[in-house]
Amino acid sequence: MEYRSLGKSGLRVSVLGLGANAFGGRADKETSIRVLHHAVDVGVTFIDTANVYTNTRSEEIIGEAFAGRRQDIILATKVGMKRGDGPNDRGSSRQHIMAEVEESLRRLQTDYIDLYQIHAFDPYTPLEETLRALDDLVRSGKVRYIGASNYSSWQLLKSLDISDRHGFSPYVSVQPGYSLVDRGIERELVPFCVEYGIGVIPYFPLAGGILTGKYAGGAVPTGSLLDKNPNFAQRMDAARMAVGEKVVALARDLGTTPTALSLAWLMSRPAVSTVIAGATREAQIDENSRAVDLRLTNEVLEQLDDWTEEFIYARPFGSAPRPRANA
């Protein structure tokens, strides 16, 4: 396994991370624990979850899996999404952050979180309030580093400026959607992160399976994201599916898998610290791990860039297509 610094911080993380949004959902507790333990066995240290994943079950399962061996992992979770129907049950206010961090710590069976991330920018809460609350958590020892998720470059810049002026702990990472078929962050966010030393943590690195070859020929495997969530079909447009087919063919020519090829491409991109790929089976961990030692030639990188340049300017993969007006 390769380990990299998270941005310009001193925290070292495995270049392959494990996304835990399926634990307690598409993967039951027993399966999830086996996957988590196998990931650590092959060198994965970075585990990413959130307080809203599978209605808190993801955090609970991770807490159970690593009870007594907390030191084996770098644990990242998030706060900010809706957790109830009350007026303070969402967002990044001090009230919500302080209430939710205690619940996450309890579920995770730990007294500290390595990376605590704001799940999405909250336009209704002053950034000074959010950042002061996070700084207090760092000073208290309940959180060691802080990061953002789904922030734009201007939102990150404003956050870093406030932290610098007030002496708060700064964001060290950002978590955006990023893959071969979702390259919009390369327009502004990636150059910003390179300039300011912010670690990029891509989510949806395999575009929900499009880049694994599992949907080749129109197949819908049992247990896949599309099988479990038919609404996912709206993201599987023809252009992205066509790239998926090309990646499958190229991987075959290179003697590797489309999954390893797609993850290795991400690992080669500027500012990327760790790539969080989900898994619901131990075999998927082994397949994802092949990316770590896969070195892509300049010729292959140029080929992939040519095939996917249009996705620098396309709508984000995580957004639904705009409805068409009636003719």
Annotated catalytic residues are: 53
Which tokens sit at 268? 């080669």
Whole-angstrom distance, CA of residue 81 vs CA of residue 77: 12
Whole-angstrom distance, CA of residue 190 vs CA of residue 272: 9
Whole-angstrom distance, CA of residue 294 vs CA of residue 296: 6
Q: Provide the 10 A C-beta neighbour count for residue 69.
A: 10
CA-CA-CA-CA torsion sign (23, 29, 31, 33): positive
For 236, counting Cβ atoms within 10 Å of its Cβ (0-12 exposed, 13-18 middle, 19+ buried), the class is middle
3-class state of residue 19 by DSSP: strand
